[in-house]
Amino acid sequence: MRLPCPICGTRDRREFYYQGAASMLERPVSGELDAWHAYVHVRDNPAGRTRDLWHHEAGCGAWVIVERDTVTHEVFGAVLVEDADAD
Amino acid sequence: MDRLTAVSPGADLLPVRQGALTLEEVLPGEITSIAPFRGQRKAVTQALLAALGVGFPEANCLTRKGELRCVWMGRDLAFLMGARLTADLGGLAAVTDQSDGWIVLKLSGAGAEDVLARLVPADLRAAAFPEGAAIRTQLGHMNVSVARTGGGLQIMGFRSMARTLVQEIADAMASVAARAGAG
């Protein structure tokens, strides 16, 4: 698998570290326990399109949101977390 | 006080020769990392151009003037090599001395790309990786910088991994040279 790093271009998967679902960027604004429980522990396991966080560890060092399909392995694109998340 | 002798990271390891291939150590002198603060990249480039004649490189590139090189090393990061940083980057960038942290190698000769093709998961053939290209990638499991400059491939790795880095490349050189020799 190759991933399109917005900075480096298309690179081999070995250069990337997989973090997990991009829902991690959507922090609950309230202190409500259920919201935080879902944020920390509950994940979808989609057969199809998914958005994940990857770290271009052996490349530029940027965090990237990659959209891909878990069934076909098609990679649709990637954006920098920096551009998508104000934090 | 005793007079101390500086020993380069690859002093007892290099050069390595195999057929047409040569792996040698480059002594770049001072290495300074430059990490522009948010929104200051243009100002950093202007300061570097005024003081040294090279700009801050675009991603996957290096800028050079004579022996002086400014090598892209990651997101908002570049290494100035071959000269002291004389520009005043106060307030514009985070600057650190990296001189003793890295081993710098040059791999040259016919088949140099074939050697790194066995170790690096990136296309380093001249068509995809021309003179002046500089990327961060892996060599085996080591994070490195690879650049094409001065008629060869420059590989920079952490000094702490110098022996492994040289051994990995030397083994691949032996394989490529043996295959070339076998016709």
CATH number assigned to the domain comprising residue B171: 3.30.1360.120
The verdict on a CB contact (< 8 Å) between B138 and A58 is yes
What pLDDT is attached to residue A57?
96
Residue B10 lies in a domain: no
Mean pLDDT of all residues in A30-59: 94
Total tally of structural domains belonging to chain B = 2
Q: Rounded to an integer, what distance in angstroms lies between the CA atom of residue B58 and that of residue A74?
A: 29
Name residue, tokens 């892996």: B138
Let me know whether B82 and B133 are in one domain: no
CA distance A21 to chain B (A): 23
Same domain, B23 and B113: yes
Report the chain B residue with the minimal C-alpha distance to residue A80: B75
| Each residue's pLDDT tens digit, A3-16 | 999 999 999 999 99
Pick from B182, B176, B183: nearest CA to B20: B176
The answer to whether B137 contacts A11, with C-beta atoms less than 8 Å apart, is yes
- Pair type for strands A2-5 and A9-12: antiparallel
State whether B84 and B118 are in the same domain: no
| Domain assignment of residue B162, yes or no | yes
With 90 as the cut, is the pLDDT of residue B1 above it? no
Flag whether B109 is in a domain: yes
Task: Measure CB to CB from residue A11 to each of B74, B75, B122 and give the nearest one.
Answer: B122
Residue (of B27, B29, B38, B32) closest to B87 by Cα position: B32
Do the strands B102-108 and B134-139 form a parallel or antiparallel pair, or are they unpaired? unpaired
Looking at the domain assignment, is residue B1 inside a domain? no
Structural tokens at position A11: 């690179």
Residue B11 lies in a domain: no
Question: In terms of domains, do B63 and B87 share one?
Answer: yes
Distance CA B131, CA B17 (A): 23
What's the sign of the alpha-carbon dihedral A26, A30, A31, A36?
Answer: negative
**Token reading at A54:** 């990857």
Q: Are residues B104 and B172 in the same domain?
A: yes
Q: Are residues B57 and B94 in the same domain?
A: yes
Contact B36, B56 (CB under 8 A): yes
* ipTM of the modeled complex: 0.87
The domain boundary residue, chosen from B99, B121, B146? B99
Supply the mean pLDDT for chain A. 93
By C-alpha distance, the chain A residue nearest B134 is: A8
Whether B109 and B81 share a structural domain = no
DSSP string over B31-88: EEEEEEPTT-HHHHHHHHHHHHS-PPPPTTBEEEETTEEEEEEETTEEEEESS---S-
Question: Do the Cβ atoms of A8 and B77 come within 8 Å?
Answer: no
B124 and chain A in contact, CB less than 8 A:
no
The span from the CA of B113 to the CA of B164, in Å, is 19
Domain carrying residue B122: 16-28+100-181
Q: How confident is the model at residue A87 (pLDDT cuts 50, 70, 90)?
A: low
Do residues B108 and B24 both lie within one domain? yes
Is B78 inside any structural domain? yes
User: Alpha-carbon distance B55 to B38, whole Å?
Assistant: 17
Q: What is the pLDDT of residue B117?
A: 97
Residue B6 forms part of a structural domain: no
**Residues B112, B23 within the same domain:** yes
pLDDT in tens, B46-105: 999 999 999 999 999 999 998 899 999 999 999 999 999 998 999 999 999 999 999 999
Start-end of H helices in B110-161: 112-117
If asked whether residues B53 and B67 sit together in one domain, one would say: yes
CA distances from A13 to A10, B9, B169 (A): 9, 30, 22
What is the residue-averaged pLDDT of chain B? 94
Give the contacts of B50 (CB within 8 A, at least 6 positions apart): B87
Q: What would the mean pLDDT of B140-150 be, rounded to a whole number?
A: 94
CB contact under 8 A, B136 and A60: yes
> Which of B70, B99, B128 is the last residue before a domain boundary?
B99
Chain A residues whose CB is inside 8 A of the B161 CB are none
Instruction: Name the domain boundary from B99, B120, B137.
Output: B99
Query: Do both B85 and B133 map to the same domain?
Result: no
Chain B CB contacts of A15 below 8 Å: 121, 137-138
How far apart are the C-alpha atoms of B98 and B85, rounded to whole Å?
12
For the segment A20-43, what is each residue's pLDDT rounded down to a tens digit?
Answer: 999 999 999 988 999 999 999 999
Residue A36 has a pLDDT of 95
Residue at B4 is within a domain: no
Average pLDDT over residues B122-132: 95
CB contact under 8 A, A15 and B77: no
What pLDDT does residue B2 have?
Answer: 83
Residue A86 has pLDDT above 70, yes or no: no
Tell me, yes or no, whether B90 and B108 share the same domain: no
Domains and CATH numbers, chain A: 2-84 (3.30.2270.10)
Look at residue B28 and tell me whether its pLDDT is greater than 70. yes
- Interfacial residues of A (vs B; Cβ cutoff 8 Å): 7-9, 11-12, 14-15, 57-62
Nearest-Å Rg of the Cα atoms of chain B is: 17
Q: B180: pLDDT confidence band, cut at 50, 70 and 90? A: confident
Interval B163-175: pLDDT, tens? 999 999 999 999 9
Q: Which residue of B has its CA nearest to A62?
A: B75
CA B14 from chain centre, in angstroms, equals 16
